[in-house]
Structure 1
Amino acid sequence: MGARRDYYRDPNAPKANSLKPGGSALVVDEAGRVLMQRRGDSGNWSLPGGIMELGETLEDCVIRETREETGLDIEITGLLGIYTDPEHVIEYADGEVRQEFAIVYYGRAIGGEIEVSHESTDVRFLSLDELSGLPVHPTVRLRLQHHQERSNLPRLE
């Protein structure tokens, strides 16, 4: 097993023992492509994001994590949704089993240049059609589907 393993609606999933607030950015370029990173720990394509640290807002966390993971500076432009499904847990090699708690913001690139971080093997803007044939976790596909539906209201899942 890599550093993490995601379980989604799996009756054999381990019981969660942790809950930490996290956030992600859904950044779209002028061509409608979404900023994605290929995670080094799972091989899946995912939105940039991470866990909030003491002393920062969740918006600050998403801006920081996006810069660290993709090289791009962003500004927050809206809210896609709040994702807290207890049937999505992430098991880490150290024994932590974290229940999903992710708030996904819309963001816009305002500077920087795309670069791969120590957490990813690739970073680029991809169309939704391109993503349909790539490894993407079902919970990230759900977020992309919500984006594609373009609802004006934040999603609560």
Structure 2
Amino acid sequence: MSRTEYYDDPAAPEPNSMVVAASAVVTDDDGRILLQRRRDNDLWALPGGGMELGESLPGAAVREVREETGLDVEITGLVGTYTDPRHLIEYRDGEVRRQFNICFRARVTGGELALSDESTDLRWIAPGDLDALPMHHTQRLRLRHYLEHRPTPYLG
């Protein structure tokens, strides 16, 4: 695997980069959530990735969803901010990333579901089926906050 995630692990390597990232909880009319199975760690996750220079965070989420799933989306709200310094991501190329993620709510406006080179599977998952999927707990936290229908975004 080319990606290893650490959480509150004293054996984790020291970070050498910081990345601002955006992700999205994309839902369909039946309330199912779109997830991708990541090629780099074989875990299920929300579509998302790093923000590029010259784009906004909502724009990054829209672009990442399109790149990773083939779907066009509209941002409809904010799930929360995820900035826990205990979460590190190590890549095979030597990057050890501290990543700040802003997670949005989104709905599909067009496009066709299509795999990218970053994933091995895409699925619409009913909320009751989420626990059965292998997933990093930081992804589960975002999904839990989304499913709690919080009146205000999570700030953490």
* TM-score for both structures, normalised by structure 2: 0.97
After the TM superposition, which of the residue ranges 8-17 and 96-105 deviates more from structure 2? 8-17
Q: Secondary structure at the match of 2:64?
A: helix
Which structure 1 residue ranges, 5 or more long, are not aligned?
A: none
CA contact (8 A) 1:89 1:97 kept: yes
Alignment of 1:13-24 (within 5 A): 13-24=12-23
TM-score of the pair, normalised by structure 1: 0.96
Question: Where do 1:1-157 residues align within 5 Å?
Answer: 2-157=1-156
Contact 1:3/1:93 (<8 A) preserved = yes
Question: Matches of 1:55 and 1:36 in 2, distance apart?
Answer: 27
Stretches of 4+ aligned residues off by more than 4 angstroms:
none
In structure 2, the gaps of 5 or more residues are none
CA drift at 1:105: 0.5
> Which stretch of structure 1 is more off in the superposition, 7-16 or 86-95?
7-16
Shift of 1:152: 1.4
- AA matched with 2:19: K
Q: Distance in 1 between matches of 2:12 and 2:151?
A: 34
The one-letter code of the counterpart of 2:75 is I
Offset at residue 139 of structure 1 (A): 0.2
1:140, 1:43 → 2: CA distance?
13
- Distance across 2 between alignment mates of 1:75 and 1:113: 15
